[in-house]
Chain A
C-alpha cells in the first residue's frame, strides 16, 4: 500500500481552515444529536446551502463531522431522558437509563464517550487500511444474506430488556405487525393505510420510538408521582471510575469489531451492530442478570459499535459511490453539488478529498472526546431539574423533533398515540425496546425475503445453498437455538453433579481479567 496519499491527506486535514470545519462539524453534530428527532440527515440537508461556497474537502469534512458527532450527542438523551433519537441508540437506553436512575448517569455518558472514541478510531484505522477489500465483501451480501441477518437480529431482540421473554416476544410481534403498514413495495397495494396517504409509506421510526420511550416514560412518571412524592434523580460521581473502565474494556474491543464489520452493509448495518454488540456482551457476561438493570457493558458495547458502524458506513460511499444510509445519501448529494460524482474512481481522481475526509475522522474523534468528557458534567445537571419543569420541556422537544423529520403533523399525532401505548406497556410490564427494534428489522426482513424468493424463482432452499446466507443461517441456529439449549443442559448436569462453576456453553471467559 502506497502511504504517500495517506500522509498527504493529513497535510490536507491539518490546514487551519479544514481543522476549523472539522471542529465546527463535530460541534454541530453533537448539538443536534442532543435534540432528538433532528437527526444528522435533516441537519446536513439544512446546511447544504452553506457548503456551496466552500471547498469540497472542507465541506465534506464538516458534513462528516456532523454525522459522527451526532452519534456522540445521541447518547445523551438516550441515557438521561430515555429518548433514543435513532434506531441505533435504542439499545443504549436499556442500561444507560437505568444507570442514570441509579445516580450513575455520568458514568454511563463517560463510558459512552470513551467507547464512541475507541469505536470511531478503530473504524477509521480499518477504513484506512482495508476499505476497498471490505467494500468488495459487502457486495457479496445480497437480499438472502440480509434476510438471514434480519432474522438473527429479530431473534436477538428477545434477549434484551428485563421483562420475561414471552413479553419480549409479544412486543416484538407487535413491532413486526406495525412494520407491515404501508404500501407493499412489490405490488403497490396499500396495507392497513385506511385510505390515508400519510400512511402510504408506512410508519416512521422516529415517532414510534419518541412516543413509546420518551412520551411514554413522561406519562408513566406523572402517574407514579400522583401516587407519591416525586424525587429528583440522584446525581452521583460524574466520571467513570477505574472499575467501570476495567469492566467495559472488553466491550470496547468487541463493539469496535462488530460495528466496523456490520456498518459496512448498506441499510440497517448500524442498528444490527448495536443489537449484536449488546447481545454478545450479555451472552459473554458471567452475570447476565445485571443487563437491563444498569450494566456498564450494556452501554459500552452498543455505543462503541454504533460509532464504529457510523464511520465504516462511509466505506461504500467513498469506494463504490453507494450511499449506505439516509445521511450518506445527502453527503452523496453534497459531493454532486460540488461537481464530484462519487464512485469507484474517487480515490484515484480525488485522492486529496478521499484521504482528507478519512483522516479528518481521526482528528474529529479526538475533538469529540475532548469536547464531550467535560460536557458530561454539564449534561447530568439536567437530571437535577424538577420533573414539573423537565417533563413539559422533554415532551415539547420530542414533539418538535418528530415534526422536523418529515415536516409532518401526522407524525406528531403518532408520537402522542405511541406515547399512550408506551405508558400502557410500561404499566403492564412490556418493554418498548423489542417492539421498536423488531419494527425496524421487520421491513428489512420482509423486503429481503421476498426479493430473495424472486431471485430464487420461488425456491426457499436457495437460502441454504448460497454459501454466505447458508453459513449465516447455520450461525443463527447455533447462536439462538443450540447455545441456549447447551447452556440449559449443562446447567442441569451441573446441578445434578452439584459441582463446577457455571460457564456459558463451553466458552472460555477467563481471558477477561477483572
Chain B
C-alpha cells in the first residue's frame, strides 16, 4: 500500500473514453475490495495524513440525497486533500450500521462519514438506543448543510395553507418518508397541534411519498425541498408551509409553519465525523480540506441546485447544534405524547 506516494493516477486520465472500459473493471474491483484494503491502510496510522486513498462512508444506498452530496464532496475534496476519495455505500438502519462499524474502526481519518443529523436528533426518540447515534460517540469534523422540509399538497386537492387543511373538517392522510424521519416528525407535530383527525402513511423514502401525492393517494406530504421542487414548478404541488426557523431561500413566497401560527421547527442537517480518538492534526487537516471544498464554485452550484443551505459550522458549534436539536425534538415529542 502506497504511503508516501499515496496519490493514485488522477481521475482526469480516466475520463477518456478509450481508457474508461479498463477503468470500469478496475473501479469495480476497487469498490468491491475497498473494505479489505482498509485494514492494511490503517496499520500505519499516525503517519502523514492522508496515507493513501480515503473513503467517505455513506450509510444509505447510492442515489439518495446524502449519497449525492457525498459524491460531490468526494469529487471536489480530492484536490485539497491530495488523495483519492471514494464514496462507500453501507446502507442499513438509517446509517446506524455504517456508523457503528466506523466507530469501532481505526481512528486515523482514512475513513470518515457524512451523516444526516436526524440519526442523532430524531431517530433516537423512536428506536432502541443501539440504533441511534449520540454526539458523544463521535469526533465531529464540520457541519455541511441544512435542508428544509416543505409541506406540499396536490394542487387538485384545493389546499393552499394550513388554515385550509383545518377548514376541510375531515381526516387528513399524510404521507411520510418513514418512521423517525424529519418528514414524519414535522407532520406529526403539526397535526397534533392542529388537533384534527389525521392518519400517518409511511413510505420507504421521499420518492414514493411524492409519487403517492402525485396520484392523490394521500392529501399532503412533508418532504425535502429537492424532492418536491420539480412538482411545485410544474404546478402539480402547492407548497403550504416550510418547517425551518426562517423561510427557505428557495421558496421565498412560502410562509413557515411558525409564521402561520404553529410553532413546529424541523429541518435536516448534515455533518462529517471521524471515530473518537483520531489525532487532532488529522481532524484539523480534514476540516481544512473540507473548508476549501465548500469554497469551490462547482460545489456551491451543486448545493444551490440541490436546495441545500450551507451550514459549515466548526466541530464545537455543530456538536452544540445537534445536542440542542435533539433536546428540542425530544421535548416536542414528549409534549405531543407521540409514540411511534
Interface residues of A (CB under 8 A from B): 17, 20-21, 24, 27-28, 31-32, 38, 41-50, 52-54, 139-143, 183, 185-190, 195, 197-198, 200-201, 266-267, 316, 320-323, 326, 329-333, 336-337, 339, 341-345, 400, 403-404, 406-409, 447, 451, 454-455, 457
Contact = CB atoms under 8 A, between A and B. Distances in A.
B217 A24 contact: no
A336 B21 contact: no
A49 B74 CA distance: 9
Interface string B1-24: 000000000011011010011011
Contact of A188 (B180, B211, B218): B180
A38 B199 contact: no
A321 B230 contact: yes
Q: B interface, by DSSP: helix, strand, loop or mixed?
A: helix
Interface stretch (B42-50, B62-70, B265-273, B287-295): B62-70
A200 B97 contact: yes
22 contacts: A21-B17, A24-B21, A38-B32, A42-B31, A50-B24, A52-B15, A52-B75, A188-B126, A197-B97, A200-B96, A200-B97, A201-B91, A321-B230, A323-B63, A333-B62, A333-B63, A337-B302, A345-B233, A404-B32, A407-B90, A409-B35, A455-B217
Contact of A24 (B20, B31, B93, B179): B20
B44 to A, nearest CB: 23
B154 to A, nearest CB: 10
A143 B217 contact: yes
B201 A454 contact: yes
B212 A143 contact: yes
A342 B130 contact: no
For the side of the interface on B, what is the size category? 35 or more
Interface stretch (B138-146, B188-196, B202-210, B325-333): B202-210
Contacts of A190: 127-128, 131
B214 interface: yes
A233 to B, nearest CB: 28
Contacts of B102: none
B285 interface: no
A406 B89 contact: yes
A16 to B, nearest CB: 10
Given A20-B17, A47-B24, A339-B305, 15 more contacts: A38-B28, A44-B62, A49-B71, A49-B75, A139-B215, A142-B215, A185-B202, A186-B179, A189-B340, A190-B127, A266-B208, A330-B62, A345-B233, A403-B35, A406-B89
A202 B123 CA distance: 18
Given A41-B62, A45-B62, A197-B96, A341 B229 contact: yes
Contacts of B24: 28, 43, 46-47, 50
A354 to B, nearest CB: 14
Interface string B110-131: 0000000000000000111011
Q: Which of A185, A404, A407, A455 has the most CB of B within 10 A?
A: A407
Contacts of B245: none
Given A43-B28, A46-B31, A454-B199, A322 B214 contact: yes
- Which of A31, A49, A183, A454 has the most B CB atoms < 10 Å from its CB? A49
A20 B226 CA distance: 33
A376 B20 CA distance: 25
Contact of B23 (A20, A50, A54, A141): A50
B217 A46 contact: no
A-B pairs with the 9 shortest C-beta distances?
Answer: A343-B230, A329-B63, A142-B217, A45-B62, A139-B215, A200-B93, A53-B15, A344-B234, A330-B63
Contacts of A142: 212, 215, 217
Given A47-B27, A406-B89, A139 B201 contact: no
A49 B93 CA distance: 26
Given A50-B15, A322-B210, A329-B64, A407 B35 contact: yes
A451 B203 CA distance: 8
A332 B67 CA distance: 12
Contacts of A195: 130
Given A337-B71, A406-B92, A454-B201, A326 B61 contact: yes
B150 to A, nearest CB: 15
Interface in B67-119: 67-68, 71-72, 74-75, 87-93, 96-97, 100
Given A322-B214, A339-B301, A185 B28 contact: no
B317 interface: no
B208 A267 contact: yes
Most chain B beta-carbon neighbours within 10 Å: one of A32, A320, A326, A332: A320
A43 B28 CA distance: 7
Nearest to A182: B93
A403 B202 contact: no
B128 to A, nearest CB: 7
Given A332-B63, A400-B32, A186 B231 contact: no
Given A45-B63, A321-B230, A201 B71 contact: no
B134 interface: no
A201 B340 contact: no
B314 interface: no
Contacts of B89: 45, 406-407
B260 interface: no
A54 B92 contact: no
B313 interface: no
A197 B130 contact: yes
Given A321-B230, A323-B207, A408-B90, A188 B340 contact: yes
B231 A321 contact: yes
Contact of A54 (B15, B97, B210, B306): B15
Contacts of B15: 50, 52-54
B178 interface: yes
B178 A185 contact: yes
B246 interface: no
Nearest to B27: A46
A148 B35 CA distance: 41
A341 B17 contact: no
A190 B28 CA distance: 34
B236 interface: yes
B91 to A, nearest CB: 6
A409 B90 CA distance: 11
Given A28-B21, A197-B130, A451 B234 contact: no
B201 A455 contact: yes
Nearest to B298: A52
